[in-house]
Amino acid sequence: MTDSKTDSLARRGASRFTPRAGQRVQLFSAAAMWAIGAAILLVRGVGFLHDNLYLALLALAVALGVVKSRYLLDRVARKAVLRIHDRGRACYFGFFSWKSWLFVVLMMGGGILLRHSALPRDILAVLYVGVGTGLALADRIFWTALVSPAPAIKPAAPDSE
Digit-coded pLDDT (tens) for 118-148: 999 999 999 999 999 999 999 999 999 999 8
Q: Say if residues 56 and 127 touch (Cβ distance below 8 Å).
A: no
Give residue-wise pLDDT tens across range 10-27. 556 566 778 889 999 999
**The pLDDT of residue 156:** 43
The neighbour count for residue 95, using CB atoms within 10 Å, is 25
> 111 and 128 in contact (C-beta within 8 Å)?
yes
- Helix segments in 3-120, DSSP class H: 3-15, 23-48, 54-68, 74-87, 98-115
pTM for the whole structure = 0.80
The candidate with the shortest Cα–Cα distance to 110, out of 140, 84, 131, is 131
- 59 compared with 7, residue with greater pLDDT: 59
Q: Where are the domains of the chain?
A: 20-147
Contacts of 145 (CB under 8 A, 6+ apart): 27, 81, 84, 85
Report the C-alpha gap between 64 and 59 in whole angstroms. Answer: 9
**Residues 44/115, Cβ–Cβ less than 8 Å:** yes
Q: Across the chain, what does the average pLDDT equal?
A: 85
Position 55 confidence tier, pLDDT thresholds 50, 70, 90: confident
Give the other-Cβ count within 10 Å of 143's Cβ: 17
Of residues 80 and 149, more confidently modeled: 80
